[in-house]
Chain A
């Protein structure tokens, strides 16, 4: 299990270095962090078990701790390299593109969708901005809003570009 832990830390450090080295704002989605962490833990456990390995109490405790931390961050997105002001404007713009009215109060934003609302908290976090999805409705617009917001920033994974990049796209 030590090897798996080292691999996980190595991947996480590489991702952090890539994101911090970029000039374009990059989005780190907590829900994806949780999903990938859970999958990694699952694969590590299965492979270790198939090889006849045993899990110590400490290893299990660390795995549970990592998964709990992943669960905690799943409702949070970090926009690295963007301040709260620009992220707030982007949130408003995305809601507007979905014909969803937005109201702002301090660091909170409420995007109204049929049958409910998306409640967000937008707060500074060092060089980045954290968006906390406080609560959400179940309308299709919610998924469209999250997807459109994520599209406004680069993802952590590198992207292969084909064709002429639009002028000014970096």
Chain B
């Protein structure tokens, strides 16, 4: 199991930040390679709610499904991918100075099949390069 965590301090209220993040339709706005989120079968704040995701990198499109693991208002939103690479994304918010420290924490398993290995590239890309950019993008969007 591999893990990467990235953080940024955002000048906004923790509940507003987590409400924004828990609306998974917002994710393509701050995650570069994430092209779309669709077919959400309920409220993403409720555990078990699932949706389709599509990543695009270098002209290659990867699709799969994900579902909510947990949501705590103003504190935490966690979801896991349920097809392809098994990974869990956890967003947390904690007060820091006059702002809120937002952390995205991603854990994923090293896959065995060729298709999953190709999809692992997507997750690794998100973890390393896009993870930092994603939290900086969140800061640009949500800073007040």
**A→B interface (CB under 8 Å):** 94, 97-99, 114, 139-141, 144, 147-148, 151, 157-169
Contact = CB atoms under 8 A, between A and B. Distances in A.
Contact of A159 (B56, B64, B136, B137): B56
B142 interface: yes
B26 A159 contact: no
A147 B119 CA distance: 22
Interface string B99-113: 000000000000000
Contact of B52 (A94, A151, A161, A166): A166
Contact of A163 (B29, B30, B63): B63
A97 B29 contact: yes
B65 to A, nearest CB: 8
Interface of B: 20, 25-26, 28-30, 32, 35-36, 38-39, 52-54, 56, 59-65, 83-84, 115, 118-119, 136-137, 140-143
A162 B118 CA distance: 9
Contacts of B54: 165-166, 169
Nearest to A164: B63
A163 B85 CA distance: 11
A159 B33 CA distance: 14
A164 B53 CA distance: 10
B60 A139 contact: no
Nearest to B142: A99
Contacts of B25: 97
B22 to A, nearest CB: 14
A163 B35 contact: no
A98 B23 CA distance: 12
B38 A168 contact: yes
Given A97-B26, A162-B119, A167-B39, A140 B140 contact: yes
A142 to B, nearest CB: 10
A98 B56 CA distance: 20
A97 B28 CA distance: 9
A140 B140 CA distance: 6
A164 B83 contact: yes
Contact of B64 (A139, A141, A158, A164): A164
Contact of A98 (B53, B65, B141): B141
Nearest to B118: A162
A166 B35 CA distance: 12
B141 A159 contact: no
A166 B55 CA distance: 11
Contact of B39 (A94, A157, A168): A168
